[in-house]
Structure 1
Amino acid sequence: MSTPSILVTVPSDRLATDLGVMPDGVELQVWAMDSPAPAQRIDLVVPPYMSMSNMLSRLEGVEVGLVQSQSIGYDGVRDILPSGMRFANAASVHEASTAELAVGLVIAAQRGIPDFVRAQDQRRWMSHSAESLADRRVMLLGYGGVGKAIAARLKPFEVDLFAVASSARVEEGMPVRAVEELPELLGDTEIVVISLPGGDATRGIVDDAFLSALPDGALVVNVGRGPLIDTDALVAHTSRGRIRAALDVTDPEPLPEGHPLWEQPGVLIAPHVGGNSSAMRPRIARLVRSQIERLAAGDEPLNIVIDG
């Protein structure tokens, strides 16, 4: 029997099952990265989804061809990834689900759905007029894969939509303004939806000056990374009822019991579940299967964001 030329590890039996029969010459092993590596050479390693950062040290001393993340974000990975390894993110897996949640958070906050849920718990009929989504001026802060997916879902809601990114342009009909223009754009922006990546370049981009420039009652939605927002500044503005927020990510995260954000008026919190939907399972399997087939064919992998 010939020795397989490519070794692939995945963190769960479920993902292994979803991948199906391997191409000739490919061996698939389940390795949750909670034990020593099964071999000194692994061509493709898929770490666990939510605990990857705690597991990458297991790759020290192992020859690895490619680390395939199950997440889009990779801020901080370069600091903990063993030197010389290639790393691919999971672009194409989470954009749709994260965009769904972003739009859901906007609608929930605008139409007061959390108030209705609380009233239902009390068996109380509560009727009130709420803010619309239609006709609101909406800024997409970040126009990568997630930002574009959010735009596609927001357009039918009859909003005045524009994006802000690193450079000004018109992309597929969407007006994109440069981040340097933020001070002149915030004054008439009623909803900000943030999907920027994390890292030093974007840390605290939504600070006191940013929030102060928004009009009273503006809504800030964050489905990017928690440190994009200065939490102390957000608490100061939401505690006065001047700014509202809907957050799938926070800083710190998880948000500890007793943190003031839990009880701020007009703040809706989701526990970092943007990409964690039923769409993830088939999409991550499709991406990993594609990477395996590309490696087997000698082709360049997809989504390389750290190239050794």
Structure 2
Amino acid sequence: MTSGDSTTSSDAARFLLRYPLSRIGGLPEDLPVTVWDGVGDRPSSEDLTGIGFFVVPYGSTDAAVALLDRMPSLRVVQSLSAGIADLAHHIPPDVVLCNGRGVHDASTAELAVSLTLASLRGIPNLVRAQAGEEWQTGFRHELADRTVLLARTAPRRPGARVLRTGRICCLARRSWSSPFR
């Protein structure tokens, strides 16, 4: 816990976050926050008493569950994972549990593009060759001048029927036409 980032206010719900506001951005500077990374020293009972909104540190569900009984003002628990089964049965009935569906969409898409490019360019083989102190030359495949289809599966909503298994977000083909034809 970082005590320098903890603000106390008896009339406002406090937030228990993994990072100080200076690392998050986009939130009011005077937001009453207690910081806990899910691994270090746990917040004091005094700090936990006023917590109304708790963002569970990613990968620290077990440690977070141990704190729930010590937060009598708790109204909302935000998971950073889409799956909340390991957390759901620990949440008191008067507390709202929010999942993190969509939180990782952009980073997952970036990873998919990066791995596709790395694979086409032979990066895994080059890394293995480097470890063996070999210099591999040659031509590698590239993404340019290829047809690319980016597809995203339809998000599932509670109570909604999934009418399609996928949705095309972008279909692009790089082409060139001579202006002299």
TM-score in terms of structure 2 length: 0.59
Of residues 15, 24, 46 in structure 2, which corresponds to 1:8?
A: 15
2:169, 2:127 → 1: CA distance?
Answer: 38
Distance change in 2, residues 1:54/1:74 (3 Å): farther
1:173, 1:31 → 2: CA distance?
Answer: 38
Distance change in 2, residues 1:94/1:166 (3 Å): same
Q: How far off its partner does 1:101 sit? A: 0.8
Percent identical among aligned pairs is: 24
The answer for unaligned runs of 5 or more in structure 1 is 146-164, 176-308
Q: How far off its partner does 1:66 sit? A: 0.7
Q: How far off its partner does 1:94 sit? A: 3.1
* Maintained 8 Å contact 1:9/1:29: yes
Secondary structure in 2 aligned to 1:105? helix
Secondary structure in 2 aligned to 1:8? strand
Moved over 6 A (4+): 172-175
Tell me which residue corresponds to 1:60: 69
* Maintained 8 Å contact 1:53/1:80: no
Q: How far off its partner does 1:92 sit? A: 5.9
* Maintained 8 Å contact 1:32/1:48: yes
| Structure 1 vs Structure 2 CA RMSD | 3.8
Distance change in 2, residues 1:95/1:53 (3 Å): farther
Tell me which residue corresponds to 2:83: 74
2:129, 2:22 → 1: CA distance?
Answer: 44
Q: Which moved more, 1:73-82 or 1:103-112?
A: 73-82
Tell me which residue corresponds to 1:28: 33
Of residues 119, 126, 143 in structure 1, which corresponds to 2:129?
A: 119
* Maintained 8 Å contact 1:67/1:86: yes
* Maintained 8 Å contact 1:9/1:30: yes
Specify the code of the residue in structure 2 equivalent to 1:89. N
* Maintained 8 Å contact 1:119/1:125: yes
Larger Rg: 2
Q: How far off its partner does 1:93 sit? A: 4.4
Q: How far off its partner does 1:65 sit? A: 0.8
2:15, 2:108 → 1: CA distance?
Answer: 28
1:55, 1:168 → 2: CA distance?
Answer: 37
TM-score in terms of structure 1 length: 0.38
Q: How far off its partner does 1:173 sit? A: 6.3
1:172, 1:130 → 2: CA distance?
Answer: 28
* Maintained 8 Å contact 1:65/1:86: yes
Specify the code of the residue in structure 2 equivalent to 1:87. L
1:170, 1:86 → 2: CA distance?
Answer: 30
Of residues 101, 107, 125 in structure 1, which corresponds to 2:117?
A: 107
Q: Which has the higher contact order (CA 8 A, sep 6+)?
A: 1
Distance change in 2, residues 1:105/1:143 (3 Å): farther
Q: Comparing both structures, which one devotes a greater share of its residues to helix?
A: 1
Q: How far off its partner does 1:59 sit? A: 0.3
* Pairing 1:74-93 to 2, within 5 Å after superposition: 74-84=83-93, 85-90=95-100, 93=103
Deviations 1:279-299 (A, max 9, x none): xxxxxxxxxxxxxxxxxxxxx
2:165, 2:32 → 1: CA distance?
Answer: 46
Distance change in 2, residues 1:43/1:49 (3 Å): same
Tell me which residue corresponds to 1:167: 163
Aligned residues: 148
2:63, 2:10 → 1: CA distance?
Answer: 32
Question: Does residue 40 of the first structure (1) align with residue 49 of the second (2)?
Answer: yes
2:59, 2:17 → 1: CA distance?
Answer: 14
Specify the code of the residue in structure 2 equivalent to 1:82. I
* Pairing 1:1-308 to 2, within 5 Å after superposition: 3-12=10-19, 15-18=20-23, 19=27, 21-22=29-30, 27-32=32-37, 34-35=42-43, 37=45, 38-60=47-69, 62-63=71-72, 64-69=74-79, 71-84=80-93, 85-90=95-100, 93-128=103-138, 134-135=146-147, 140=151, 142-144=153-155, 166-168=162-164
Secondary structure in 1 aligned to 2:21? helix
Distance change in 2, residues 1:9/1:35 (3 Å): closer
